[in-house]
Structure 1
């Protein structure tokens, strides 16, 4: 079985697809919410290096990728957070650090708020999770209807360097992923218009964010058109007591793809620094 193909585990009745590699401190990677997204699509460039330093788990959140789409499920932040809590407990890890991308960052924030006992450190990348106004970019992502051209336009929104990012190979790969059996049916049921309410449902209050005691690193692309820096990470970093913020210039929403090596250096440095501080 290759890392790309992943494996399956039963998580309280949900057949969950995930990737696992490496050893050491447990690190959970939670993907974003773009059409056709999966853990592999989000983290394929980061997994090899991270697995040299940590015991990495990268699941497909319920409703996404190759994890089950249970009949009758109501997709919500509660469903997604509960799935990740149950995943952590099913794999038998007492504590994990979490890297959450965008929608995955909101899951991470809600998870650490509800179950602080399960979490060591948190890294948020282009993350939502506070009260904010939905951007035109995010509204377009959640309102995607499958076509090659629509996917091409979305990738232009995601990336800073639109010319190189929106190449036909990448567009075709993400488009084909978005039209696999059951993928779009589930996706279109998650964020129906009006979409501001879905963003509101994922948000913690200022008081709840201020109550998070864990070390948190926020990473954001300065030119992010999907989750604008000023509305989200900038404000979250001022509320969480032990939060750091790193902003990448000339970078859109796909930090882990557009700034892969720099992103990895931030993640590894932060986790090791926090680990050292705990043992002093």
Structure 2
């Protein structure tokens, strides 16, 4: 049977899990890491971005463990250490030695934590609104991570906190994210991933210290919407100040979804940054 679901791409075994991913283009390998919102997948986050970046680079977007169409691990302990190990195994499975990253939100924190543990395997990285430093969990992040008992109306309501202009939230996007969030097994995994009692501890664990950032010797680009209600702008500023070889770009009238709300400027910034390799 021919697959008609755009979220399903190729598959490779990583850490014993059949890991779904999308790949386009040629050249330097850039891995796109999605966020942690309900119903997220590599395709939901990067479907519009992949073709544009693939004109210049080899771009690879995996569904991280617990998300999308990657096989669920019944014994998973969804910690940052677990996701770093899955990502390392995924990179190894593709026989890649050194890669670059683009990390959206949680994906940005995954990139910084991976770089801390495996600095020799990261060429450079771009982080979009990543929770890369500790901060007080925002009401919008509580709302996103507290999503349960899925309905299309609830998903639409949730999607509006990601964007500065809620009119960009299409029926297609709401349907895609709702259907993904309501899949058996994945719904239960998400509801167990970020319990209310542990959310601040999770953000504290994901965040790196000033001294850890100061140990980074590669190039970093931080991008942040000035109207982001989920991850404070100050988080990107702090990280950028502590990494010697870093730059930061900010987008006005933009929330947590730069790749959707400012797609052209977002792609231009990435193409410029990674073309310097």
* TM-score interval, smaller chain: over 0.9
- Alignment match of 2:20 (pick from 17, 21, 24): 17
Give TM-score, length-normalised by structure 2.
0.95
Q: What CA distance in whole angstroms lies between the structure 2 residues aligned with 1:12 and 1:168?
A: 35
Residues 33 and 42, structure 2, Cα contact 8 Å, conserved in 1: yes
Correspondence for 1:215: 219
What residue in structure 2 maps to residue 233 of structure 1? 236
For the 8 Å contact 2:7–2:42, the answer to whether it is kept is no
The aligned residue for residue 43 of structure 2 is 40
CA distance in 2, matches of 1:67, 1:31: 13
Q: Return the offset for 1:182.
A: 1.5
Check the 8 A contact 2:127/2:222 in 1, yes or no.
yes
8 A contact 1:124–1:218 mirrored in 2: yes
Quote the Cα distance in structure 2 between the aligned partners of 1:190 and 1:201.
14
- 1: distance between equivalents of 2:106 and 2:138? 14
Query: How big is each residue's C-alpha offset from its partner over 1:5-31, in whole Å with a ceiling of 9 and x where there is no partner?
Result: 301101131110000111100000000
Shift in Å, 1:229: 0.6
The TM-score with structure 1 as length reference comes to 0.94
Q: Which runs of 4+ in 1 moved over 4 A?
A: 1-4
Correspondence for 1:98: 101
Q: Secondary structure at the match of 2:238?
A: helix
* Residue 169 of structure 2 is aligned to residue 166 of structure 1: yes
Partners of 1:141 and 1:135 in 2: how far apart? Answer: 10
Instruction: Please list the CA deviations of residues 101-140 of structure 1 after superposition, one character each: whole Å capped at 9, or x if unmatched.
Output: 0000000000011001111001000111112111111111
CA contact (8 A) 2:7 2:43 kept: yes
**Equivalent in the alignment of 1:205:** 209
5 Å matches for 1:36-75?
Answer: 36-75=39-78
Equivalent residue runs for 1:179-198 within 5 Å: 179-194=182-197, 195-198=199-202
Query: SS of 1:19's equivalent?
Result: strand
Identify which of 99, 113, 116 aligns with 2:116.
113
**Other structure's SS at 2:267 match:** helix
Task: Assess if the C-alpha contact under 8 Å between 1:155 and 1:165 holds in 2.
Answer: no
Distance 1:82 1:12 in 2: 8
Partner of 2:247, secondary structure, is strand
Query: How do residues 238-277 of structure 1 correspond to structure 2 at under 5 angstroms?
Result: 238-273=241-276, 275=277
Map Cα deviations across residues 231-271 of structure 1 (whole Å, 9 max, x no partner): x1011111111110000111000000111111000000011
Matched residues, number: 272
Q: Which residue of 2 aligns with 1:153?
A: 157
SS in 2 for 1:157: coil
* 1:52-84 deviations in Å (ceiling 9; x for gaps): 111111000011100111111111100001111
Q: Conserved in 1, the CA contact under 8 Å of 2:38 and 2:190?
A: yes
Q: Give CA-to-partner distance per residue, 1:129-169, whole Å, 9 cap, x none.
A: 1121111111111111112222122111000001x133434
Three-state SS of the structure 2 residue aligned to 1:158 is: coil
